[in-house]
Structure 1
Amino acid sequence: MAFLSPGCTTQKNIREGYEWSDFFWRNEEDASKPRILFIGNSIVRQFYDDICPILEKEGFNCDRYSSSRSIVDPALYRETKIAMAKYDHTVIYFNNGLHGWHLNVEQYGKGLRKYVKFLKSQKAKNAILVFALTTPYPSNKPGEKMAPRNLEVLNRNGIARKIMKEYDIPVIDLYGLVEPELDKYSKSKGDVHYNQKGIELMSDYISNKMVKLFEEHNKSSK
């Protein structure tokens, strides 16, 4: 299921030249397993097909809402409700950071805090929220590792860490995972997306983290 809309500008909301959103609910006939919802951008869409089989072996079914919506876009809230409507998800993984570049760090932080409050109000009672730091913004110039925009990524990740600490939400550091060997994992020079090695790295790392968080949460609930 996909929504496509032309870019538009209003006093309250600024969008990119084109925007996209898509949803995927996997193994809908199976109501016997806890479900994980992944919310994010094209990075989530990249690793989703690889991470699902891993988590299914661990006893989870996986759903996905991926989008280019900025953290302050009202459509993000409407579409998140669609993604969450079918199930009481056990774990909700979320990220927003590689879009909405018209926002300064203060505006981004304000929007992210509002979205966290929204997720907490909408989630199932005992659902676990997990935030993933935004991945690097590499440079396409020879001899230069990071584009100037990567400084904004770092600033967003910094304020995201503070917000998640306020709400006691675990953080998965995808930035720190791929940054040391970014050239090895990038799809191409300057591309924010990842090759198969990078996808497999993130899938293994995220699935291990989420299974451990789920197990720790169950132990503390007993």
Structure 2
Amino acid sequence: MICNREKTEWVNYMWHNANDDSAKRILLIGDSITNGIYNDVSDLLQNYVATDLLASSRVVTDPVFDTDLEAALVDYTHEIIYFNNGLHGIDVPINLFEEAFFDKVELLMKYSKKVVLATCTPITEKNKPQILSPKNDVVLKRNEVIRKAADKFSLSLNDWYDFILSCPFYRANDGYHYTEEGKRVQAKLVCNILTKLI
């Protein structure tokens, strides 16, 4: 598979209440968008489940992403796995992205009976949150892949692209990320879906 690695690659793991083997658990897998909402999601769901995290810059075609997944999945059983991947490795051809994405979804389904897929958030021009970047064309193509996977495997889908696109006031100026208020709104959207499945 193609790596298309960036200058700096990163990974962040978190296991909440890791010393409690009896806790019901969910796992969030994603990039910096998922990383940004993790604390709010964990706080909102703390009375229901322990929330774990794998956030990284790895695109699904990177072989090292398989290693990251294994580390996140091996120690605990997760009631729900929430999966968001698509803003990195922007130059990976869509056919290779689709093949790898479907493979990862099938893997996650072996570890949890409930898998939720999430479409990617928009990419906008730097300092112009109302204007889409040319790179957003890749987001649109990848979101079609994600919707296709949700349909094929009959999985829940957080198709938040249009809603987030309509809220440029929640966007940070870098074209990718969100304000603290924007992160809280996104966390609530995710929790509305997850609480129905717990």
Q: Per the shorter chain, which TM-score range?
A: over 0.9
TM-score (norm 1): 0.84
Structure 2 residue runs of 5 or longer lacking an equivalent are none
SS of alignment partner, residue 213 of structure 1: coil
Is 2:27–2:81's contact at 8 Å kept on the other side of the alignment? yes
- Alpha-carbon RMSD across the aligned residues, in angstroms, is 1.7
How many angstroms apart in 2 are the aligned matches of 1:173 and 1:90?
A: 21
How many angstroms apart in 2 are the aligned matches of 1:179 and 1:160?
A: 17
Q: Greater Rg, structure 1 or structure 2? A: 1
Q: Residues 74, 144 of structure 1: CA spacing in aligned structure 2 closer, same or farther, 3 A cutoff?
A: same
TM-score (norm 2): 0.94
Report the count of equivalent residues. 198
What residue is the counterpart of 2:86 in the other structure? 97
How many angstroms apart in 2 are the aligned matches of 1:105 and 1:82?
A: 27
Post-superposition shift, 1:63?
0.4
How many angstroms apart in 1 are the aligned matches of 2:77 and 2:10?
A: 25
Q: What are the Cα deviations for residues 157-186 of structure 1, in whole angstroms up to 9, with x where unaligned?
A: 01210122101111102212211012x101
Is 2:129–2:171's contact at 8 Å kept on the other side of the alignment? no
How many angstroms apart in 2 are the aligned matches of 1:212 and 1:67?
A: 26
Note if 1:17 corresponds to 2:17.
no
What residue is the counterpart of 2:144 in the other structure? 158
Work out which of the residue numbers 164, 167, 173 in structure 1 matches 2:153: 167
Q: What pairs with 1:54-73 in structure 2 (closer than 5 Å)?
A: 54-57=44-47, 59-73=48-62
Post-superposition shift, 1:13?
3.2
What residue is the counterpart of 1:35 in the other structure? 25
What residue is the counterpart of 2:167 in the other structure? 181
Q: Matched residues, percent identical?
A: 30
Amino acid corresponding to residue 103 of structure 2 in structure 1: K
Q: What are the Cα deviations for residues 38-58 of structure 1, in whole angstroms up to 9, with x where unaligned?
A: 00001111110111010112x
Q: Residues 33, 144 of structure 1: CA spacing in aligned structure 2 closer, same or farther, 3 A cutoff?
A: closer
Work out which of the residue numbers 135, 140, 154 in structure 1 matches 2:126: 140
How many angstroms apart in 2 are the aligned matches of 1:160 and 1:25?
A: 26
Post-superposition shift, 1:12?
4.7
